[in-house]
Chains A and B, each alone.
Chain A
Amino acid sequence: MAGIFVLAEHRQGQIRDITIEMLTKGRELAEKTSMELTAILLGSNVKEHAKNLAEYASKVVIVEDAKLENFDSEAYKKILSSLISTHKPLLVMIGHTSQGVDLAPRLAAALSLPLATDCIDLAFENGVFSVTKQMYGGKVNVKATVRKAETYLATVRQATFAPTKPTTPPNGQIVTVPSPLTEEISEKRFVQYVLPPPGGVDITAAEKLVGVGRGIKDVANIPQIEDLAKTLGAVLSCSRPIVDKGWLPTDRQVGTSGKTVKPKLYLALGISGAFQHILGMKSSDLIIAVNKDPKAPIFSFADYGIAEDLFKIVPPLKNKINELRAQKV
């Protein structure tokens, strides 16, 4: 049964968006190559999700095991190894997420099967499997071919394929397979989920945000930007590097590992626009970006752009805003 497998990702009782995104892309690939699309659902008490998945896939394979109550890449590796060896799918799609990053490379090494990670496109052309990925923080795309194999593994970037329901739901057949796990995984143990400490500022509630990135160079420059934010009546937020450096607290971080925001105004200063950041702010009503590099990815998402050093823009901008405010009165 050469088909396409999509590993359904779920956490704390919720199917993650990446699952439906992969099923959408997987269906497109399956239709082109006349293959069957199968959703693989692993967990403990996860049957409730099968119906939902069957609206996208022509088959849903469930493996339930009490040892799968929380995600464990080692347990997943063992079960998927067994399913892949038995069914020999042509392609296995896994999310390029905190789960997939922990699982896929190790699974590929265990099975000696080729893996392409963080794919933004996948294609079968003349019997060759090729993928599109990004390099250098999204500044360059790369098309690569994958070494010929019976089964290919790929991790898929989040929010890359827009989830759509099939026009005629396949009403996939739901099959439960006994768990091949025989013993406890002893070398690794899930302890608990750790919630982020409650922050003082809720950036998701702000109407206007000024976001700062690497371009601000030094923690000493934060007050200057804070000052501009105050003038604008905006809240200060930031991209990941600023939190990593400890210049602003975690609750100010916009992006996949931080908050998703939709303000009326997002003014991005010195943010190049790594996709993790973009995913957190692209739905803002108005995006204005200031960055030295005119080719920075942020400019593909901004409404207005200024290709200039932010420190040359911030002082006159603050003055001009004050001036316009004064006129109003």
Chain B
Amino acid sequence: MDVIVCVKHVPETAEAELKIDPSGKAIEKSGLVYDINEWDDYALEEAVRIKEKQGGTVTAITIGSDDSDSTLRKCLARGADKAVRLTDPKFEGSDGYAIAKILHAVIKTLHYDLILMGMQAGDDGSAMVGPILAELLGVPHATMVKKLELDTGAAKVNRELEGGLEEQVEVKLPSLFSVQTGINEPRYVSIMGIRKAMQREIKIMGLVDTGLTENDVGPAGSWLSIEKLYVPPVEKQAEFLKGTPDEMAAKIAEILKAKGLI
């Protein structure tokens, strides 16, 4: 079973305070910690588990600058056999459509039984690369996958629907699955493991290697063009309690008492 896993190197923003940069079209990146996109981390883990059970190879592919190498090293340390980084100044400013075209140009030349990736990325959250890539490759797909079981020539997957419901779908291989968080428990990769992966080769490819033109990628090859970023307008704001932690805790308790909740 040859598995390709597509990963993205993104800033961790869940607990960070974000600022918009002077261009108004991006956030200030300085001070942010980057890591593998959370959803892709689950896809990577699933790919490695399949390899461990069935044999075969795992190839990790990313599009980004050389900073993305740390995410690829994580993939290699976790159990990927090969790592490919697609880097070109012309790729910058690509939306999900342009990204899918770049991935398609490279993946169509590789052998695969399965393509895995996160169902969305924590930065733009577009949730479109997987199904577009599947259409371009002409393979079936399923998104929001929470469980994956392989059979001969097919996979049975559970897709997450709303309200806790799931649907089970049978999909013929080769196919593409975009996974939802919680499909597995990604294993911890030690610093030693990542250090060892420093010795491994990362294959680097650019626009010329893809056979695409400048018009296919970057802003020219994208559907969307960012006008401006802004902090969401606050319609309602909580009344912030002030003071030392002890004082603030006491205020909560008083509020609860006043409302008859304790």
A binds B: yes
A interface residues (Cβ-Cβ under 8 A, vs B): 11, 16, 70-71, 73-74, 96-98, 101-106, 108-110, 114-118, 130-131, 133-147, 186-196, 208, 214-215, 232-233, 240-241, 243-246, 250, 253, 256-260, 264-265, 267, 272, 286-289, 292-295, 297, 299-309, 312-317, 319-321, 323-325
Determine the main DSSP class of B at the interface with A: mixed
Given A193-B167, A194-B166, A244-B181: A187 in contact with B172 (beta carbons within 8 A): yes
The complex places the Cα of A287 from the Cα of B255 at a distance, in Å, of 11
Pairwise interchain contact A140-B160, C-beta atoms closer than 8 A: no
Pairwise interchain contact A117-B127, C-beta atoms closer than 8 A: yes
Interface size grouping (class) on chain B: 35 or more
Pairwise interchain contact B130-A105, C-beta atoms closer than 8 A: yes
8 contacts between A and B (CB under 8 A): A96-B127, A133-B124, A135-B27, A135-B125, A244-B181, A287-B238, A314-B249, A316-B246
With contacts defined as CB atoms under 8 Å apart, how many contacts are there between chain A and chain B in the complex?
282
Known: A140-B231, A144-B225. 7 other contacts (CB 8 A): A108-B223, A133-B125, A139-B13, A147-B224, A186-B172, A304-B240, A312-B245
Contact of A144 among B97, B122, B224, B257 (CB under 8 A): B224
B interface residues (Cβ-Cβ under 8 A, vs A): 11, 13-18, 20, 27, 96-97, 100, 119, 122-132, 134-136, 140-144, 156, 158-172, 175, 181-182, 185, 222-232, 234-241, 245-246, 248-250, 252-257, 259, 261-262
The complex places the Cα of A66 from the Cα of B169 at a distance, in Å, of 17
Pairwise interchain contact B126-A117, C-beta atoms closer than 8 A: yes
The complex places the Cα of A282 from the Cα of B172 at a distance, in Å, of 41
Pairwise interchain contact A102-B167, C-beta atoms closer than 8 A: no
The complex places the Cα of A188 from the Cα of B250 at a distance, in Å, of 57
Residues of chain A contacted by B144 (CB below 8 angstroms):
98, 101-102
Residues of chain B contacted by A233 (CB below 8 angstroms):
262
Closest residue of B by beta carbon distance from A110: B135
Contact of B164 among A71, A136, A196, A292 (CB under 8 A): A196
Given A11-B161, A102-B131, A265-B261: A141 in contact with B230 (beta carbons within 8 A): yes
Pairwise interchain contact A257-B162, C-beta atoms closer than 8 A: yes
Pairwise interchain contact B165-A196, C-beta atoms closer than 8 A: yes
